[in-house]
Chains A and B, each alone.
Chain A
């Protein structure tokens, strides 16, 4: 069993919602990855999503594209991502870590080897943007057998039958994409999100998080009323871009803390 269910149970007991920050491993540098993760936890993050850099991030907007590009320029590979996760796990035994990325780096490592290395590194969940369940049933089984959750996306265009299909397969949590578009877009409609989350929660046995385009504490707070978790990505990457490199962990931690305060207020 991964650390994700226990995390949500603890949050439920205290009446809080999960705050899930995302950033790319290797942005701004590989040595800063683990310090950023610790700063996120100190700032109030409950689960951390680590981006696996990819040369062709089709579902991402310009901000995360740039982030992925900087990480690749720093020579970061999927192996480095797993190493960073393992190092963090060595120092933090409780905060769940989820890897998020695209299929091809995993295809090259091999699905079985990837699943084993995730388990060894203490990774709790995996979200592969371009592995819909039909194309990756074996990966779900390989991960599940090793206690690693398969996180899936649902979107505003997902049909009723699709929601049921994904809900039956998802472990850990479901990630609801809050808008039609790529990461970092900014036309989120909280009422529309609430409507879709209710549809998903009606059939899902796992918690439902929401992400894509959440840029401020007010929106996070609004959405936390209907969702079990809030995912923040592009806004964090912007903070990384705007900070002098040595200040990145502290500034990101402070940003997370502002979201935390807003969500808990």
Chain B
């Protein structure tokens, strides 16, 4: 086992990460960094976090052996880490609980968040309600159309959802707008970033709060299968669920790590969101990482059937894991993800999120070529209830 202690003190993962923000945010980021580093080592904070994860989120989430699916594929055994069973239906709540606890200790009464699929927005609105804080969620107007139910959920929870009309009107623009809000209201506002991107300390902090997923897997896999998986798979948009399950496995190089990006209509068509598979390094949203951009450094529009993966960047730690070959990154197309979605519904009675369906599709691709005693562990990062309208539309059904 190798020791893995990235990032460095300035938040660099090799050439990636860092703090590429305007001077107007430096003081806020310095304060956040100092506070997080303090509470990360505070046993009382960690005890409260553990309590909340157990009693509010419902952790640990189980691992489920998908026996019918594995039998059908006639190859490796597929195990699912059931993050879809968490309160609010995805892994996103792990991080929002942690950041909201930090916000309370920092005396910030107002929470802002960006959201793509709406899962992080719902998770932020949820913890804001839980702690009695004001909550504003920025969401691209395109995503609002795609995820009407989640918008309503956020409103039910007392959040204000602000449509973002700039740029491509999706997740990246929501992030820009949330940053602008933070700059303006920095004294009373805590910005809960939902993925492992953004300026340091966000990539590290969001990973740390989500790394409970991989830690649980280490114990659960031993208990269930008497061994660790051969391959761990997770979908990657910004990459928070993937870092959550990968982090504990990074030192154990006998475990392959596979990140699955959104291939959209196919990499060759240019309509995708696969920054690691088809992008190049650059600076966006406070960090250096792989981006989908043109030769002049302008960020290009992305496409994916799943709003949660529809982002032109990726967390800097994934960029580092790719370059060092510790993790592999592949792309799954919209059609393949939909096929995996329907297969899991019919074969295991589990409706996965379209995001997680990408990771599942990759596992279904790999399993048949592998021996029956091999294990693929898929992070089933969210449930698909939010995707009913999208799936119906692709299937040509109107309610």
Contacts and interface: CB of A to CB of B under 8 A. Distances in A.
Contacts of A10: none
Given A107-B283, A131-B20, 12 more contacts: A56-B284, A58-B176, A59-B183, A104-B282, A108-B282, A108-B296, A132-B21, A135-B18, A155-B24, A162-B26, A181-B24, A182-B180
Given A104-B282, A155-B24, A162-B26, A132 B293 contact: no
B296 A58 contact: no
B167 interface: yes
Interface string B180-198: 1001111100000000000
Interface string B272-294: 00000000011111101001010
B301 to A, nearest CB: 9
Between B18, B293, B298, the greatest number of chain A beta carbons within 10 A of the residue's beta carbon is seen for B298
Contacts of A180: 24, 183-187
Interface string B145-187: 0000000000000000000001100001100100110011111
B297 interface: yes
B299 interface: yes
A113 to B, nearest CB: 13
Contact of A77 (B22, B183, B187, B296): B296
Contacts of B285: 56, 58
Contacts of A129: 22
Between B26, B286, B299, the greatest number of chain A beta carbons within 10 A of the residue's beta carbon is seen for B26
Interface in A48-78: 54-59, 61-62, 65, 69, 72, 77-78
Contacts of B286: 130
A44 to B, nearest CB: 28
Contacts of A182: 180, 183-184
Interface string A154-183: 110111001000100000000001001110
A177 B296 contact: no
Given A56-B167, A104-B283, A180-B187, A153 B296 contact: no
Contact of A104 (B19, B185, B186, B297): B297
Q: 10 shortest A-B CB distances, which residue pairs? A: A108-B297, A105-B297, A157-B27, A153-B23, A181-B184, A103-B283, A104-B297, A77-B296, A155-B24, A59-B22
Nearest to A187: B184
A91 interface: no
Nearest to A136: B20
B27 A135 contact: no
Contacts of B18: 135
Interface of B: 10, 18-24, 26-28, 30, 166-167, 172-173, 176, 179-180, 183-187, 281-286, 288, 291, 293, 295-300
B393 to A, nearest CB: 28
A65 B179 CA distance: 14
A182 B178 CA distance: 12
Contacts of A166: 23
A109 interface: yes
B159 to A, nearest CB: 22
A157 B291 contact: no
Nearest to A129: B22
A262 interface: no
Given A56-B167, A181-B183, A109 B22 contact: no
Contacts of B176: 56-58
Interface in A204-245: none
Nearest to B30: A159
Interface of A: 54-59, 61-62, 65, 69, 72, 77-79, 102-109, 129-132, 134-135, 152-155, 157-159, 162, 166, 177, 180-182, 185
Nearest to B288: A107
A135 B297 contact: no
B283 A109 contact: no
A135 B184 contact: no
Contacts of B179: 58
Contact of B27 (A72, A108, A159, A181): A159
Nearest to B313: A56
Contacts of B185: 180
A238 to B, nearest CB: 17
A55 B23 CA distance: 20
A154 B10 CA distance: 20
B23 A135 contact: no
A158 B26 contact: yes
23 contacts: A54-B297, A55-B167, A55-B300, A58-B180, A59-B22, A78-B296, A104-B282, A104-B284, A104-B293, A104-B297, A107-B282, A108-B282, A108-B296, A109-B297, A130-B286, A132-B20, A134-B19, A157-B26, A180-B24, A180-B183, A181-B184, A182-B183, A182-B184
A65 B22 CA distance: 16
Given A59-B183, A107-B282, A180-B183, A157 B24 contact: yes
A155 B26 CA distance: 9
B23 A152 contact: yes
Nearest to B12: A135
A61 B19 contact: no
Contacts of B297: 54, 78, 104-109
A25 to B, nearest CB: 13
A153 B24 contact: yes
B180 A61 contact: yes
Contacts of A134: 10, 19
A153 B173 CA distance: 24
B296 A105 contact: yes
A158 B27 contact: yes
A54 B24 contact: no
Nearest to A101: B297
Contacts of A135: 18-20
